[in-house]
Amino acid sequence: MTTYAEALEGLRSAQKPNYGVPAYSRFVNRPLGRQFAAVACVLGLTPSQVTVISALVSASGIVLIATVDNTWVLGIGAAVALVLGYALDAADGQLARLTKAGSAAGEWLDHSVDAVKISGLHLAVLVGLYRFADLADTAWYLAPIAFELVAVSRFSSMLLIDQLRRSAPPGEQPLPTESSLLRSWAALVIDYGVLCLLFVTWGSVGLFLVLYTVMCVGNWAYFVAASAKQYRELLGRTRVPAVAGP
């Protein structure tokens, strides 16, 4: 039987590269996920079971935001649930690499849960603001709508560019590199973990909306810049034949 220490040691050599990974995800979420992955290994859990646990924990935080009055206690509780759910989301992939139990079904489940979580969080913010916040200016309702749009677009684009890179001929696949510390810290504005932590301010709607809107603008700026870079990258690619229709 694998011990916790043995699992943790094995996980240290089963990490994804840090290219483009924001600071919170790199220095906090991945190490925390490693701890959860080691516990899951000792308990004999599968990666998909960890994914389901992650989904349930994240969902509890999302439901709180949409259904309970926006108090400081509620915000802290929601933030804790979202942070733990995010760490467990990092744990399932690490566990799969450690146990060599990765599968197409597991990857599909992980990405499907991520898609629901990402879209559900911003919808919960919109619902929570509408139900519990006394906003003097209704234009603030546009913030979660704009964040929802960019979050879903970024996620979809990320999955597609990943698949296109995997399908590239060997000579055209970009080489993985380590991300600089400066780039990791600069990318905090797009870090989902930072967004999770932002809900500790949910009890002060004005402060929350200012910080939330700053992150929204940062996500849009990153998405536009990354999209332009990825498009230029793909312009140099060998054309992939279209899939025949039915």
Contact yes or no for 194/24 (Cβ under 8 A): yes
Residue 186 covered by a domain: yes
Range of the domain at 185: 4-235
Residue 57 covered by a domain: yes
Residue 240 covered by a domain: no
* Residue from 188, 192, 15 nearest 86 by CA: 192
Tell me what percent of the residues of the chain surpass a pLDDT of 90: 71
Please state the domain count of the chain: 1
pLDDT of residue 9: 85
* Residue from 2, 82, 84 nearest 39 by CA: 2
pLDDT tens-digit profile of 73-109?
Answer: 999 999 999 999 999 999 999 999 998 888 999 999 9
Contact yes or no for 188/28 (Cβ under 8 A): no
Residue 242 covered by a domain: no
Residue 203 covered by a domain: yes
pLDDT of residue 243: 42
Residue 108 covered by a domain: yes
| CA 17 – CA 96 distance, rounded (Å) | 16
pLDDT tens-digit profile of 33-47?
Answer: 999 999 999 999 999
Contact yes or no for 160/131 (Cβ under 8 A): no
pLDDT > 70? residue 238: no
pLDDT tens-digit profile of 16-35?
Answer: 777 778 899 999 999 999 99
Positive/negative CA dihedral, 197, 203, 208, 212? positive
Residue 154 covered by a domain: yes
Contact yes or no for 108/119 (Cβ under 8 A): no
pLDDT of residue 166: 82
pLDDT > 50? residue 244: no
For 189, which DSSP code? G
pLDDT > 80? residue 220: yes
pLDDT tens-digit profile of 149-182?
Answer: 999 999 999 999 988 888 877 666 665 555 678 8
pLDDT of residue 40: 95
Which CATH number belongs to the domain containing residue 147 in this structure? Answer: 1.20.120.1760
Residue 244 covered by a domain: no
Average pLDDT of the chain to the nearest whole number: 90
pLDDT > 70? residue 240: no
Mean pLDDT of 193-217: 97
Mean pLDDT of 123-139: 95
Tell me what percent of the residues of the chain surpass a pLDDT of 70: 91
